[in-house]
Structure 1
Amino acid sequence: MYVGIDVGTSMVKAAAFDGAGRALAVGSRPVGLALHEGFVEQDMEEVYAAVVAVLEEVTRQVPEPVELAGLTGQGDGVWLVDGQGRPVRAAASWMDGRAHELVHQWLADGTFETVFRRTGGAMFPGSPGPLLAWLDRHEPKALDAARAAVYCKDMVFQRLTGASRATTDVSDASMPFLDPRTRMYDNRVVELLGLTHRRGLLPPVSDPVATGGTRGEGLPAGTRIANGPYDLPASALGAGVTTPGDGLLIVGTCLAALVATTDLDLDGEPAGLYISTDRPGHRLRAMPAMVGTAALDWVLSTTGVRHEEVDDLLAATPPGAHGVRVLPYFAPSGERAPFVEPRLRAELTGVSLESTPADLIRATCEGIGYAARHCLEAAGLTGSLAVCGGGTRSGAWMRLLAEVLGRPLRVVEGEVGARGAVLAAAERYGVALDAAEWTRPTAVVEPDPGRAAYYAKGYQDHLARLQEARDRART
């Protein structure tokens, strides 16, 4: 039995797999988010307790020896811990918007672009650089009390293994301090963000990922476990996206577009990031947009529509949603990919008394699709495209998405991040698993040519309206 742990933003999951990659059991626990005036925080003790609970649930369901475990989780944010991995304060989430004025300042004075040209990472308010700089200005005592500013999975790994010090891996360290050429922290970037005196908080980078034995919480004592990569590259592994040019679209809370590459182009528009992987020279060009299914969730809640009604409503209104259009940038911290606009907000246009909930739902799904197309084009997609995440549960939305993107979709269902975490752990420990079998798609969705042509024109309209919205956000 192989166990993958995926510590998500709103849900912690663990999955047990057999040697052929078949899921034997899945456990999950929700975790809370505290939102207040742009602050988005999480209770680390609640998150860790959820990890232990789902591991106990899964191992009870499948009473087989655990060969090894792989750990992944949400990226970015700031998780301040003491020497034992315990919280100094609540974790600041990647969704947090408190540092948006700092990012806006760095956009204006050139710091933002300079950092991107050195690291390939476009900072956004919820990334560690801005959050640490904000905390240094407003909560210096919290930083004084901390031994390390880590990422979600790093806190969990230290607690599960009892490691004497916190570490991270090259994937999480990619934003915003890691030089992708040397795979080490760029001290000039630390200086540019005014954090040289906090340099000691950056955890050492384990390259390849750290391993250890568990101390008996959630998993049997001594179980071999590997720390990383974080959820985006882990999902790419779990979906079989390793060939340069191939891509993955994660339709989850965050709409993330990833393309495997061996290139490193730091001359384009500063946006997204290059995620380093365990294989030197191999990277993922990532365009992780701030809002994916969260935009649809907001519209469903506002209109009183249940998730199980979405497929029928998508069929109840034609492409174009009777003129209703949505720019789906609902996050309080604006957008981070494939451009950075901290003050950008969502727009809903073309609505009249004749508009129906079906029009609003379809327009939102179309808008998310256009945002995904923008991200994938910017990331350099040239090969096949896999798709995973909660959005894949809607067959109608997947057909719409294939038409908006104008290409077939390799749908990969199940716990893709946890699957990728196991594959990464197996590679680290030298355990032979058949990656092709583990990552086989569950379906392939082909686009309707006529609708794909219609949406190609709609995409150009989306780009024009987006540019107008970005211009307004800057004034």
Structure 2
Amino acid sequence: MYVGIDVGTSVVKAAAFDSGGRQLAVESRPVELSLHGGFVEQDMAEVYDAVVDVLGKLTGRVPEPVELAGLTGQGDGVWLVDAEGRPVRSALSWMDGRAHELLDQWLADGTFETVFRRTGGAMFPGSPGPLLAWLDRYDPSSLDAAATAVYCKDMVFQRLTGAARATTDVSDASMPFLDPRTRTYDNRVVELLGLTRRRRLLPPIGDPIATGEARGEGLPSGTRVSNGPYDLPACALGAGVTAPGDGLLIVGTCLAALVATTELDLTGEPAGLYISTDRPGHRLRAMPAMVGTAALDWVLSTTGVTHAEVDDLLAAIPPGANGVRVLPYFAPSGERAPFVEPHLRAELSGVSLETTRADLIRATCEGIGYAARHCLEAAGLTGSLAVCGGGTRSPAWMRLLADVLGRPLRVVEGEVGARGAVLAAAERYGVSLDAGVWTEPTAIVEPDPERASYYAKGYEEHVARLDVAREAAGRQLRGTGCS
């Protein structure tokens, strides 16, 4: 039995697989997010307890011995721990927006672009650079008390294995301090963000990913465990996206577009990031948008529609949603890919007293689809496209996505991040698993040519409306007085 652990933003999951990649069992437990005034935090103790709980339940259900376990989890944010891996304060989530004023300043004075040109990472309010700089300015005692500023999975790994010090891997380190050419921290970037005196907090990078043995919490004592990659590249592995040009769209809380590449292009509009992988020279060009299923969830809760009703409502309304259009940028911290605009907000247009709930829902799904197309184009997709995430549970939405994107979708269901974590662990430990078998799609969804042609024109209109909205958001930034 092989176990993958995926420490998500709102749910912690553990999945068991046999040697052929068949998913045997899954255990999950929700974890809370604390939201107040743009601050989004998590209790690290609750997160770790959830990991131990789901692992204990999983290994109790499937009696086969655990060959090895791979760990993945949410990226970005700041997880401050002491020398023993204990929390210094609540974790700052990647969804946190408190550092937007710092980001506004860096956008205006050129720091943002300079960092991108050096690292290939476009910072956003919830990335470690802005959050650490905010803490240094407004909560320096937390940084003084910390031994390391790690990422979610790194905290869990240290606690599970009793490692002497928290470490991370090249994928999590990619934003925003890693030089993708040398695979080491760029001290100039640390200096530009005003964090030189906090340089000691950056965790050592395990390259290749770190390994250890479980000490008996959740997993049997002595179980081999590997740390990483984080959830986006883990999903790419779990979906079989490794050949240059092939892509993955994760339809989850955020909408993440990833394209495998061996190139490094630091020109063009600063957006997204290059995620280094465990294989030197191989990267993922990532456009992890803030928009995603959270946008649809908001519309569903506002209209009183359940997830079970979505497929029927999508089928009842023609393409174009009877003239209703949605720019689905609902996140309070704006958007981060394929452009960075902290002040961008959602817009609904074409709404009248005749507009139905089904119109709003279809228009939202279409808007998310257009955002996905924008991200995939910016990421450089040229090959096949796999899709995973919670959105794949809706067949009607997958058909709509295939039409909006104008290409076939390789749908990969199940715990794809956990699957990728196992494949990464197997490669690290030299365990032979057939990745092709492990990553076979569960379905292929073909686009309808007529609807795809309609949506190609709709996408052009979407981009035009977005340009206007971005200009308005930019005027708001310029109005803050930054120069």
2:181 is the alignment partner of 1:153:
no
**Partner SS, residue 468 of structure 2:** helix
2:386 is the alignment partner of 1:424:
no
Distance 2:96 2:404 in 1: 30
After TM superposition, list the pairs within 5 Å mapping 1:288-327 onto structure 2.
288-327=288-327
- So what's the TM-score if we normalise by structure 1? 1.00
- So what's the TM-score if we normalise by structure 2? 0.98
Q: Deviations over 1:270-298 (max 9, x none)?
A: 00000000100000000000120000000
Distance 1:7 1:315 in 2: 34
After TM superposition, list the pairs within 5 Å mapping 1:52-451 onto structure 2.
52-451=52-451
Aligned length: 475
Q: Deviations over 1:23-66 (max 9, x none)?
A: 11100000011111111100001100000011011101101110
**Partner SS, residue 258 of structure 2:** strand
Distance 1:206 1:234 in 2: 16
Structure 2 unmatched ranges of 5 or more: 476-483
| Structure 1 letter corresponding to 2:425 | A
Quote the residue 1:474 is aligned against.
Answer: 474
Shift of 1:247: 0.1
Distance 1:85 1:23 in 2: 31
Distance 2:397 2:407 in 1: 14
| Structure 1 letter corresponding to 2:329 | Y
**Partner SS, residue 296 of structure 1:** helix
Q: Deviations over 1:417-454 (max 9, x none)?
A: 00000000000000000000000000000000000000
**Partner SS, residue 287 of structure 2:** strand
Distance 1:17 1:315 in 2: 35
Q: Deviations over 1:138-167 (max 9, x none)?
A: 000000000000000000000000011010
Q: Deviations over 1:362-401 (max 9, x none)?
A: 0000000000000000000000000000000000000000
Shift of 1:3: 0.2
Identity %: 85
Shift of 1:316: 1.2
| Structure 1 letter corresponding to 2:349 | T
**Partner SS, residue 240 of structure 1:** coil
Shift of 1:474: 1.2
| Structure 2 letter corresponding to 1:141 | S
Distance 1:3 1:252 in 2: 22
Quote the residue 1:39 is aligned against.
Answer: 39
Distance 2:54 2:89 in 1: 24
Distance 1:324 1:165 in 2: 53
Q: Deviations over 1:201-259 (max 9, x none)?
A: 00000100000001000000010000000000000000000000000000000100000
| Structure 2 letter corresponding to 1:341 | E
Distance 1:349 1:393 in 2: 28
| Structure 1 letter corresponding to 2:432 | A
Distance 1:287 1:380 in 2: 10
| Structure 2 letter corresponding to 1:80 | L
Distance 2:33 2:292 in 1: 17
Distance 2:408 2:463 in 1: 22
| Structure 1 letter corresponding to 2:216 | G
Distance 1:191 1:450 in 2: 53
Shift of 1:268: 1.3
Distance 1:357 1:42 in 2: 34
Distance 2:182 2:194 in 1: 22
Structure 1 unmatched ranges of 5 or more: none
Distance 1:454 1:23 in 2: 38
| Structure 2 letter corresponding to 1:191 | E
**Partner SS, residue 25 of structure 2:** strand
Shift of 1:129: 0.0
Shift of 1:317: 0.9
**4+ aligned runs moved over 6 Å, structure 1:** none
Aligned-residue RMSD, C-alpha: 0.4
| Structure 2 letter corresponding to 1:38 | G
Quote the residue 1:29 is aligned against.
Answer: 29
Distance 2:254 2:86 in 1: 27
